[in-house]
Structure 1
Amino acid sequence: MIIILAGGKSTRMGKEKPVLKIADKEMLLWVYNESSKIDETLVALSKNTPKTRELCLRERIPFVNTPGRGYVEDVQWLLKEFGPFVSVSADLPFVKACDIALIRSELEKKKTSITGVLPLNIVPKDLGVATYRGYAIVGINGVSYEGEEFVELRNPLLALNVNTPREIELANRIAKLLHPKFT
């Protein structure tokens, strides 16, 4: 199972990120369209995301309401409710089905938690990415009961985790380059 995490407070953006549009399409739909190519996909919402709930209802996207106490607490709740799953952040508009499939494959094979990472040498220099142990951490993970292993991904656009107005502008420019029909 794939669960798109879309219940955060979006404090840096100041508004619900999953419903913000990139090239005239809500960010959640960019992620959902890719993840649903791989496996059953569910969107995790909370009291913080009423507009995202409306989008899911309108688009007939299955969702679950989490307690909304915070990222770690919600992921633990989801693990208890559904068992091991692949989590994808709703603010990764350029995630590809193959990225998600690789994490799912590693989760199934190793039965341990998987953290999707990018080697720093493929991360665009002007993006402020979270780094850990010499890697850029991206928002695709295999959530399991124990352990942690890194799995290197090769899609440099995963480094663009949309958290600020500047990043949404950048995502729009990239989307228009990748998908000229939106210009």
Structure 2
Amino acid sequence: MIIILAGGKSTRMGKEKPVLKIAGREMLLWVYEQASKVGETLIALSKNTPKTKELCLREGIHFIETPGNGYVHDVQWLLRELGTFVSVASDIPFVRASDLALMMKELERRKLSLTGVLPLSRVPKGLKPAVYRGYAIVGLNAVAEEGEEFFELTNPLLALNVNTPEELELANRIAKLLRSKFL
């Protein structure tokens, strides 16, 4: 199962991120479209994201409501309630179905928690992702009871986590470039 995490407080953005639009479409729908190509997908909401809940109801997207007590607490709650899963943040609009499928495959194979990372050499210039032990941490993970290992991914756009108005504008510019390239 893939769970899209969409229940955060969005303190840096100042408004609910999952419903912000990129190229005229809610950011959550960018992620959901890719995730639903891979398998069963559920949106994790909280009391912090009432507009996201409205979007899910309007679009007929299945969701679960978490306690909304923070990322770690909610992920642990989801693990207890649902068992192992792949998590992806709703603010990584350029995640691809192939990224998600690869993480699902590794979760099934290894049966342990995996933190999705990018080598810093793959991070596009100008992006400032969270860095730990020489890797960019991306919001795509496998969540299990056991272990914790890094899992290297290759999609450079995973480094764009939309947390600020400037990153939202960058995502809009990238979306326009991608559209023109593939249309």
| TM-score, normalised relative to structure 1 | 0.97
Structure 2 partner of 1:16: 16
Structure 2 partner of 1:163: 163
Query: Identity of counterpart residues, as a percentage?
Result: 74
Q: CA RMSD in A?
A: 0.9
2:37 matches 1:37: yes
C-alpha displacement at 1:53, in angstroms? 0.2
Structure 2 partner of 1:90: 90
C-alpha displacement at 1:28, in angstroms? 0.2
Structure 1 partner of 2:62: 62
C-alpha displacement at 1:133, in angstroms? 1.2
Structure 1 partner of 2:144: 144
Unaligned runs of 5+ in 1: none
Structure 2 partner of 1:180: 180
SS at match of 1:179: helix
Separation in 2, partners of 1:155, 1:12: 25
Structure 2 partner of 1:115: 115
Q: Alpha-carbon deviations, 1:48-105, whole Å to 9, x = none?
A: 0000000000000000000000000000000000000000000000000000011111
Separation in 2, partners of 1:8, 1:180: 32
Separation in 1, partners of 2:122, 2:74: 31
C-alpha displacement at 1:151, in angstroms? 1.2
SS at match of 2:81: helix
2:104 matches 1:104: yes
Separation in 1, partners of 2:180, 2:148: 39
Separation in 1, partners of 2:39, 2:2: 6
Query: Aligned residues, how many?
Result: 181
Separation in 2, partners of 1:26, 1:34: 13
Separation in 2, partners of 1:103, 1:117: 11
Runs (4+) of structure 1 exceeding 3 A deviation are none
C-alpha displacement at 1:125, in angstroms? 2.4
Unaligned runs of 5+ in 2: none
| TM-score, normalised relative to structure 2 | 0.97
The residue type paired with residue 120 of structure 2 is L
